[in-house]
Amino acid sequence: MADGYGFHEGEVTAIREVSPSMRRVTIAGRGLAGFDVSAPGQWIKLFVDDSPRGGRAMTVRDWRIDRLELDIDIASHPTSDGLVGRWLQSAASGSRVRLAGPRSTFRHLPGHKLHLFGDETALPAISAIVEHLPSGAEAFACIEIRRPDAVLEAASMADVTWRWLVCGTETPGAGLLRCCRELGCASGSDQAFVGCEATAAREIRQLLQAAGFAPGTAHVSGYWKAGAREHVDAESDY
């Protein structure tokens, strides 16, 4: 059950590599009773130590309510001194964590073509969203990865076109920006979901507005900010 602060306590039961730059952490336990996920791509705050501050946002990649068990996919990044990165180096089955959430206002609008832009931190959300799209839906997913073998294409009943951009040493989000510029004008039946480095996210938000995305149809969030710990994007559509 959640404690008085709305936290749920859980225990790591497995950690495995799902790509060379992504590790899947499975968390389970009776402390997750009452935790529930109402839409794909929702996220939690993950607390890996006893501090009430210092949680990091992570997406619920999968939630198995019958087993009170959830997966989060954690992308590795070059800054190895982050709180989660350091924790992951020593985490193992039995490690205790707390979660707060989940939340997110994003919902796919039926009948809308979905344009998904993100780096590897948003790939768990994009994968969960794509997996839940119904047959007949249309989506375009543009993902920035650090290395060519980090491709992880989620299955879907929908008609999904994937584009994978290997960013190498380029500024984070630069490829996503270029791809977004190719979008052209939005029609009333386009919808966008974006998660990436905060400076790029801000520019993409402006591009989508200029392209004519109606209010409520573009969901854009800075998932992290270069040089900033525990970044929270004040302009986000979390």
CB 24 within 8 Å of CB 18: yes
Residue 19 near ligand FAD by CB under 6 A: no
Distance from C-alpha of 55 to C-alpha of 47, rounded to nearest angstrom: 4
Nearest alpha-carbon partner for 180 in 234, 141, 224? 141
Q: Which stretch binds ligand FAD (CB under 6 A): 32-40, 57-65, 110-118, 199-207?
A: 57-65
Residue 65 near ligand FAD by CB under 6 A: no
Judged by CB under 6 A, the residue of 21, 156, 217, 221 near ligand FAD is 221
Residue 84 near ligand FAD by CB under 6 A: yes
87-95's contacts with Cβ under 8 Å and 24+ in sequence apart are 87/48, 87/49, 88/15, 88/23, 88/25, 91/12, 91/15, 91/25, 91/48, 92/12, 92/15, 93/11, 93/12, 93/13, 93/14, 93/15, 94/11, 94/12, 95/11, 95/12, 95/48
String marking each residue 99-138 x if it binds ligand FAD according to CB under 6 A? ----------------------x--x--------------
- What phi, psi does 148 have (nearest 5°)? -60, -25
Q: Which stretch binds ligand FAD (CB under 6 A): 133-141, 179-187, 209-217, 218-226?
A: 218-226
Q: Which stretch binds ligand FAD (CB under 6 A): 8-16, 53-61, 106-114, 200-208?
A: 53-61
Residue whose Cβ sits closest to ligand FAD: 82
Q: Which stretch binds ligand FAD (CB under 6 A): 55-63, 92-100, 176-184, 203-211?
A: 55-63
DSSP character at residue 194? E
Residue 202 near ligand FAD by CB under 6 A: no
Contact residues: ligand FAD, CB under 6 A: 43, 56-59, 72-75, 77-79, 82-85, 121, 124, 221, 223-230, 238
